[in-house]
């Protein structure tokens, strides 16, 4: 039975022999002590090239046209199918690991004992989580029980994207424990690289922070460009910091690296252009610089995508394409620095010093690359493989260390230069601030002078308007006086009429008496004549008295209209009140014949004479009495039955004050306007009837005499004004 089962593959193989080829002989594993990688001898494996890349494992199983090994390099073909066998001749399990690290993707199909197929995969394009075996090292583990044989189908896939497209070399494998030892335990280079890159990244971040601080203060473009340059560098370092471990999709790190490179280069150029002001200082070199930069970006893109796009082995152009422009670019910058340094001391020299090591690293690297290209073209491929490989390793190491160190050097020196520039700019800024401050204070001083001038002008304008106001006020006061005089005229006329009547009557009677006296004298009745003469004398005295009375009235009127320069003189307040009461009453009667009101007086005869300006106080009394009469006459017009319009004028002594009370039973003052009555130009009379200055002037006059005016009023019932005048 066992034989029968084992026959089956034989039949299959036989068909194959007839069809194409038979299975390759198995590779015998006799020991697991070999330390290095083992390449499967060409006789032990077979291959199918898959130009379409679309052949599936099922198709391979059913109709695989495997050929003997053919290592011709054909970069148009990206997928190859391989098959081989292992047989474990040891007494223990053989644990081996197939190398997938050189390829984008490797798929392994293993047949289990029950005939089913197991699928394992790894490679650069396989994301971390999907890799089988040793993920970072990209080795696929196989376990072969003691004495057993295992059949393996392998699919190699190349994408030629940014990796060195090693030609289809066949199968490499190692013993798992050895791989672990080499890649994980003894791999000091790997850890060195991590440490170095981490250090570089830290340095870059530090430089970014410092330059951000500088930029925040001086706001110069070159600082921002330098920061962006450093960011580009940081991207590159991050991409290089074992990208496989940090990216789910490995290609991402490639793009980060690509973008980082371009950013670095572009802003490195911008930094120099702005630092040296090349566009204005060296316009021609500036153009070269830009041209070379474009060349670099093109070259670099070519080196990354060229192999994939053109499907050819452009491996060695990888470094030449961007390297040559970069070199030129650095040389141009050095030339400009040289020109610039002749005039501008320290900074350019330092910058040149900063670039120089990187330039040297690049130059030497380029020479080495050229040597490899030359060497690999001269000798046959198979013969030089190991030498080229070791030279490549050396170049790799050389670049890693050289570039890292020269970058560190560059960053440190650049930061130093920028620090120098920063402190210079800060000094400049401080100086500018001082200048601005000076200008500002000068401006303020000038403004102060102008302001003072304006204030003087305004003050004189204000003075002028004050003068105008004063004279207007005087005119108003005068017109108020004249207005009240107008009100008085009728009263005065009436007052004069009475004494004049007496003068006329007494003089007429006297004429008659003279005739009678003559008759008596003719009759020699001397006694009678004498009696008549006495009467005559009395009459003449009366005439004189009434003439004087009329004269006094006229005098008072003149005094009233005179400008207020009146002197204070001892005045009988009672007489003054009486006089103005009459004037007011008769004045109103004369103006309005229908006017009729009672007035009652109650004068305190014990009042002392006090020092006042009589015509001023008279004016106040007149004004208040006039108002009182006006109020009662207004109320009378309402036609209230039994209403008797009455005005009371009385005087009183109270302590060291004389009180003049003027009371009416008129309409009273509404409380809403009570506060306003002493304001100038406030009046309740119809327009044209009052100036609105009466009470205001009265208030001023009484104030000037050291007294006060109070008002008590009840709407509808009447008003009482009380004037207080002190006496010494």
497: contact with another protein by CB under 8 A: yes
b/e per residue 375-394 (b: at least 16 CB within 10 A): ebeeeeeeebeeeeeebbee
Among 231, 308, 364, 509, binds another protein (CB under 8 A): 509
d(CA 556, CA 685): 27
Which of 297, 295, 229 has its CA nearest to residue 258?
A: 297
Query: Looking at 76-84, 374-382, 539-547, 681-689, which segment touches another protein (CB under 8 A)?
Result: 539-547
Structure tokens at 206: 């530090």
Residues in the interface with another protein (CB under 8 A) total: 26
Q: Which is nearer to another protein, 59 or 538 (CB)?
A: 538
> Sign (positive/negative) of CA torsion 604, 609, 612, 615?
positive
539: contact with another protein by CB under 8 A: yes
Q: Which is nearer to another protein, 179 or 588 (CB)?
A: 588
d(CA 663, CA 673): 18
Q: How far is the CB of 509 from another protein (least distance, A)?
A: 4
Question: CA 605: distance to chain centroid?
Answer: 84
3-state class (DSSP) for residue 38: strand
The helix (H) or strand (E) run that includes residue 411 is: helix 381-522
**Which residue(s) pair with 117 in the sheet?**
111
538: contact with another protein by CB under 8 A: yes
Q: How far is the CB of 564 from another protein (least distance, A)?
A: 30
Q: Which is nearer to another protein, 110 or 496 (CB)?
A: 496
501: contact with another protein by CB under 8 A: yes
Among 6, 594, 606, 656, binds another protein (CB under 8 A): 594
Query: Looking at 60-68, 449-457, 586-594, 658-666, which segment touches another protein (CB under 8 A)?
Result: 586-594
Query: Looking at 9-17, 198-206, 588-596, 708-716, which segment touches another protein (CB under 8 A)?
Result: 588-596
Structure tokens at 204: 């870059």
DSSP 516-561: HHHHHHHTT-HHHHHHHHHHHHHHHHHHHHHHHHHHHHHHHHHHHH
Under rule CB under 8 A, which residues in 276-315 are in contact with another protein? none
Do β-strands 598-602 and 172-175 pair in parallel, antiparallel, or remain unpaired?
unpaired
Q: Cβ atoms within 10 A of the Cβ of 645, count?
A: 21
Q: Which is nearer to another protein, 597 or 612 (CB)?
A: 597
Among 339, 399, 416, 502, binds another protein (CB under 8 A): 502
Under rule CB under 8 A, which residues in 80-109 are in contact with another protein? none
Q: Which is nearer to another protein, 453 or 600 (CB)?
A: 600
d(CA 67, CA 344): 71
Structure tokens at 221: 């473009």
542: contact with another protein by CB under 8 A: yes
Query: Looking at 238-246, 304-312, 492-500, 651-659, which segment touches another protein (CB under 8 A)?
Result: 492-500
Among 244, 400, 535, 552, binds another protein (CB under 8 A): 535
Q: How far is the CB of 501 from another protein (least distance, A)?
A: 4
Helix axes 381-522, 614-636, angle to 10 degrees: 90
598: contact with another protein by CB under 8 A: yes
Q: Which is nearer to another protein, 32 or 535 (CB)?
A: 535
d(CA 487, CA 492): 9
3-state class (DSSP) for residue 227: helix
Structure tokens at 439: 């200008």
53 Cβ contact partners less than 8 Å away, ≥ 6 residues apart: 78, 79, 157
Q: How far is the CB of 490 from another protein (least distance, A)?
A: 10
505: contact with another protein by CB under 8 A: yes
Q: How far is the CB of 603 from another protein (least distance, A)?
A: 11
Q: Which is nearer to another protein, 577 or 693 (CB)?
A: 577
Query: Looking at 97-105, 231-239, 538-546, 665-673, which segment touches another protein (CB under 8 A)?
Result: 538-546
Query: Looking at 98-106, 234-242, 356-364, 497-505, which segment touches another protein (CB under 8 A)?
Result: 497-505
506: contact with another protein by CB under 8 A: yes
3-state class (DSSP) for residue 603: coil
Query: Looking at 11-19, 149-157, 505-513, 718-726, which segment touches another protein (CB under 8 A)?
Result: 505-513
d(CA 159, CA 706): 115
How buried is 652 (Cβ within 10 angstroms: 0-12 exposed, 13-18 middle, 19+ buried)? middle
Among 601, 681, 685, 714, binds another protein (CB under 8 A): 601
Q: Which is nearer to another protein, 450 or 519 (CB)?
A: 519
636: contact with another protein by CB under 8 A: no
**Contact residues for another protein (CB under 8 A)?**
494, 497-498, 500-502, 504-506, 509, 513, 535, 538-539, 542, 545-546, 589-590, 593-594, 596, 598-601
């Amino acid at each position: 039975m066992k034989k029968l089962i084992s026959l089956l593959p034989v039949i299959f193989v036989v068909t194959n022999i007839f069809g194409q080829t038979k299975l390759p002989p198995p590779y015998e594993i006799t020991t697991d002590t070999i330390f290095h990688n083992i390449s499967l001898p060409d006789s032990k494996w077979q291959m199918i090239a898959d130009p379409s890349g679309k052949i599936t494992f099922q198709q391979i199983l059913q109709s695989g046209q495997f050929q003997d090994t053919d290592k011709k390099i054909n970069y148009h073909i990206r997928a190859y199918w391989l098959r081989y066998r292992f047989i474990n001749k040891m007494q223990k399990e053989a644990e081996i690991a197939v190398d997938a690290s050189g390829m984008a993707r490797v798929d392994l199909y293993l047949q289990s004992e029950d005939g089913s197929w197991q699928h394992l995969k790894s490679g650069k394009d396989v994301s971390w989580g999907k890799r089988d075996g040793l993920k970072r090292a990209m080795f696929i583990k196989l376990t072969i029980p003691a004495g057993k044989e295992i059949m393996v189908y392998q699919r190699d896939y190349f994408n030629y994207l940014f990796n060195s497209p090693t030609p289809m070399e066949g199968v490499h494998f190692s013993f798992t424990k050895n791989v672990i030892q080499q890649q994980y335990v003894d791999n000091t280079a790997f850890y060195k690289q991590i440490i170095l890159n981490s250090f570089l990244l830290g340095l870059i971040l530090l430089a970014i922070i410092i330059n951000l601080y500088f930029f925040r203060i001086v706001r110069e473009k070159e600082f921002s460009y330098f920061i962006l340059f450093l960011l580009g560098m940081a991207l590159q370092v991050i991409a290089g910091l074992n990208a496989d471990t940090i990216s789910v999709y490995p290609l991402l790190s490639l793009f980060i690296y690509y973008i980082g490179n371009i950013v670095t280069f572009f802003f490195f150029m911008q930094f120099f252009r702005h630092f040296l002001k090349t566009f204005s200082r060296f316009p021609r070199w500036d153009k070269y610089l830009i041209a070379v930069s474009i060349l670099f970006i093109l070259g670099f893109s070519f080196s990354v995508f060229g192999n994939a796009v053109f499907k050819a082995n452009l491996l060695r152009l990888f470094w030449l394409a961007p390297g040559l422009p970069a070199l030129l670019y650095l040389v141009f910058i050095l030339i400009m620095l040289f020109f610039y340094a002749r005039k501008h001391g320290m900074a350019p020299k330092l910058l040149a010093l900063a670039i120089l090591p990187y330039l040297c690293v690049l130059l030497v690297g380029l020479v080495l690359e050229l040597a490899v290209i030359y060497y690999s073209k001269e000798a046959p491929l198979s013969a030089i493989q190991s030498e080229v490989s070791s030279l490549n390793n050396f170049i790799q190491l050389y670049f890693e260390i050289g570039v890292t160190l020269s970058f560190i050097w560059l960053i440190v020196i650049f930061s130093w230069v920028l620090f120098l520039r920063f402190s210079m700019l800060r000094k400049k800024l401080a100086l500018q601030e001082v200048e601005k401050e000076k200008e500002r204070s000068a401006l303020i001083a000038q403004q102060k002078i102008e302001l003072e001038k304006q204030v003087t002008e305004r003050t004189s304008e204000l003075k002028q308007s004050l003068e105008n106001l004063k004279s207007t006020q005087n005119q108003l006061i005068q017109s108020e006086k004249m207005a009240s005089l107008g009100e008085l005229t009728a009263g005065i006329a009436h007052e004069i009429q009475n004494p004049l009547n007496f003068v006329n009557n007494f003089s007429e009677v006297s004429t008659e008496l003279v005739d009678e006296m003559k008759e008596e004298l003719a009759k020699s009745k001397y006694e009678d004549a004498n009696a008549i003469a006495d009467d005559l004398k009395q009459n003449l005295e009366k005439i004189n008295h009434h003439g004087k009375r009329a004269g006094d009235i006229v005098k008072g009127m003149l005094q009233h209209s005179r400008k207020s320069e009146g002197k204070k003189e001892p005045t009988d307040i009672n007489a003054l009140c009486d006089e103005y009461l009459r004037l007011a009453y008769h004045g109103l009667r004369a103006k309005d014949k229908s006017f009729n009101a009672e007035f009652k007086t109650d004068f305190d005869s014990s009042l002392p004479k006090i020092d006042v300006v009589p015509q001023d106080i008279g004016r106040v009394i007149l004004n208040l009495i006039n108002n009182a009469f006006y109020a009662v006459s207004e109320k009378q017009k309402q036609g209230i039955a039994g209403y008797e319009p009455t005005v009371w004028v009385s005087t009183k002594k109270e302590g060291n004050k004389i009180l003049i009370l003027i009371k009416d039973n008129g309409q009273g003052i509404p409380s809403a306007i009570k506060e306003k009555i002493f304001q100038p130009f406030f009046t309740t009379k119809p327009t044209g009837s009052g100036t609105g200055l009466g009470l205001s002037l009265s208030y001023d006059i009484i104030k000037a005499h050291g007294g006060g005016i109070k008002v008590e009023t009840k709407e509808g019932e009447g008003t009482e004004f009380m004037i207080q005048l002190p006496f010494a």
